[in-house]
Structure 1
Amino acid sequence: MSVSRQPGIAHPRLPLPEGQPEDLAAFQQWLSDAIPMVKALGISEASRQGEALTWQLALAPNLNDKGTGFGGALAAQTTLLGWCWVTLWLRERGIARDVVVAEANQRFLAPVTGDYRLICVPAEPQGPAQLANKLAERGKGRIVLTQQLYCGETLCLEASGSYAVLPPR
């Protein structure tokens, strides 16, 4: 179901999975409706393994004038992947909250010359537990996540972001 988005109007939340594993395809469809630019990012597959959230992406929709990956698109993807990591982590725990990026940075290491994968994990192993504690104590919290972009076996981009979980409305 595609919904026309209007500035200043929040998109309806996706119902929580309620004890079921998250359907990543349904989440991806909701994400495409909620954030229209997602349709153009070339995400072909999303998967989760342990603490890692991974996207497989096509280079073609993200080309720059040189025929390699456009840095702005890659930066947007790393930021969005981190936002998805936190949102999915909350949903697993039955928590429907707003998540925002507080800070993000990228370091470009090599050109992206073909289809690629982005992997997002907590920057610190204790990060998720610390976030859970802050949410329980204060109703809000932050976590730092890292993202790595690989084209084949070549690490092309390293990024990190601080994501804030806002208090209930």
Structure 2
Amino acid sequence: MREVGVPHPRLPLPEPGQRDEPQAFHTWLAEAIPMVEHLGIREMRWEGESLVWELALEPNLNDKGTGFGGALTAQTTLLGWCWVTLWLRERGYARDVVVAEASQRFLAPVTGDYRLTCSAQSEQGPATLVERLASRGRGRISLVQQLWCGDTPCLEAHGDYAVLPAG
């Protein structure tokens, strides 16, 4: 059971240059952030430089029988946090990451199980983050998250995530 004000222990870093095993990270994430086990995440995986979640709609239903906007917003924000955290871990950084700014645009109702994807908003984003971490000890990156029901885009979100200084 988590306690208010007590940080959850960090997951040990993977071997240098290796990615976390997504299922092990998902298990840790559900312990660190209790609401995760209620989000309907069925699978977490990398596809190239995009982090992908497969989700069930049922735990995220609204009163109309479609996806609840608040749940979808929380998922896009958390997916971005996971992208940055996993990306940093692969490079040997154990850092705190926070969302600095987020916005969503709802395009269509979510009417079935769905897929969320997250990637850097620009190709230069990751390189710029590495440069800022080296020169300033902290940095920021802009990400884009997209929600798909089959081939239908239902939501697009943008988030800026801050990587805090070590310490």
TM range (shorter): over 0.9
TM-score, length of structure 2 as denominator length = 0.98
How far apart are residue 23 of structure 1 and its match? 0.8
Q: Which amino acid aligns with 1:161?
A: G
Unaligned runs of 5+ in 2: none
How far apart are residue 36 of structure 1 and its match? 0.2
Question: Could you say which residue in structure 2 is the equivalent of 1:93?
Answer: 91
How far apart are residue 51 of structure 1 and its match? 1.1
Deviations 1:108-131 (A, max 9, x none): 010000000000010001100000
Deviations 1:44-64 (A, max 9, x none): 001102210000000000000
TM-score, length of structure 1 as denominator length = 0.97
Give runs of ≥4 in structure 1 deviating > 4 Å. Answer: none
Question: Could you say which residue in structure 2 is the equivalent of 1:113?
Answer: 111
SS at match of 2:158: strand
Question: Could you say which residue in structure 2 is the equivalent of 1:168?
Answer: 166
Supply the distance in 2 between the matched residues of 1:122 and 1:77 (Cα, whole angstroms). 17
Q: What percent of counterpart residues are identical? A: 70
Give the alignment's Cα RMSD to 1 decimal: 0.6
The equivalences for 1:9-158 within 5 A come to: 9-19=6-16, 20-158=18-156
Q: Which amino acid aligns with 1:148?
A: Q
SS at match of 1:76: helix
Aligned residues: 166
